[in-house]
Amino acid sequence: MTKTDITTIIFDADDTLWDCQTWFDRAEEQLADMLKPWVSDRQRVADSLFAIERANMPLFGYGTKAFTLSLLENAIKLTDGRIGADVLLQIIEMGKRLLRFPATPLPEVESTLRQLHEAGRYRLVVFTKGELMGQEDKLSRSGLLPYFSHVEIVSDKTETAYRTLCDTLGVDPHETLMVGNSFRSDIAPALAVGAWAVHIPFHAVWALEKSQEFPHERLTKIEHFSQLMDCL
């Protein structure tokens, strides 16, 4: 099994094709500012939000709407219900803005995808998790959709989900290359089922995506998106 077996390149979306986490980090900072009259410790606000998000994950899953609900719950919890409806409305509006942040492709993304697409050697696929409408909208607004032959949006990117994607595409995992920023969600599941992987770390990492990294014979780590071409 070698890289010459690869027929399909599968890309993560958020923080791989465009910046996402930075906008969510800013929202957390804004929440801490809103809660200053009740909670001066910004780390307490962050820790409480993390605990709430983790507890809500089995019910809400991933995505902006789930995040917004957790922001609201955190605000009510930390203020013992004393927070005003006007501030809660501001949080809701903040969540709505997150649904419209610019899905501008990260540096070198579009030029690299164009090169791969025009070469015609590989099938290009998007495999991302989150809320269906939100992910579809970001992909559409990014302008990158024409480069991909298939888009798969799932509730979570597990080994089972990766195998199901391969079945849908009609390929064996060893014929695929997974490209993503999250070692936990993109890299580890792909390697576990026999796929190749390219890890492109992003400067901002969601707390729930942090995990222990490990070396692997089918794994390459790069710093810039265009270096993907060298990996192939």
Name the residue ranges covered by the structural domains of the chain.
3-19+104-231, 21-98
List, in sequence order, every residue forming a beta bridge with 198; answer none if it has no partner.
179, 220
**Helix/strand/coil (H, E, C) string of 103-159?**
CCECCCHHHHHHHHHHHCCCEEEEEEECCHHHHHHHHHHHCCHHHCCEEEEECCCCH
pLDDT digits (tens, 9 = 90+) for 212-225: 899 999 999 999 99
Are β-strands 196-199 and 176-180 bridged in parallel, bridged antiparallel, or unpaired? parallel
| pLDDT tops 90 at residue 211 | no
Question: Average pLDDT for residues 73-101, to the nearest whole number?
Answer: 96
Question: Tokens in use for 73?
Answer: 């719950």
CATH superfamily of 3-19+104-231: HAD superfamily/HAD-like (3.40.50.1000)
pLDDT digits (tens, 9 = 90+) for 110-148: 999 999 999 999 999 999 999 999 999 999 999 999 999
Question: Tokens in use for 135?
Answer: 């992910």
C-alpha distances (whole Å) from 34 to each of 28, 43, 68 are 10, 14, 14
Residue with tokens 């419209």: 100
Is the overall model pTM greater than 0.85, yes or no?
A: yes
Question: Average pLDDT for residues 75-97, to the nearest whole number?
Answer: 96
| pLDDT tops 60 at residue 1 | no
pLDDT digits (tens, 9 = 90+) for 173-210: 999 999 999 999 999 999 999 999 999 999 988 887 88
What topology is assigned to 21-98 in CATH?
A: DNA polymerase; domain 1 (1.10.150)
| pLDDT tops 80 at residue 2 | no
Residue 221: partners with Cβ closer than 8 Å, 6 or more residues away: 198, 199, 200, 201
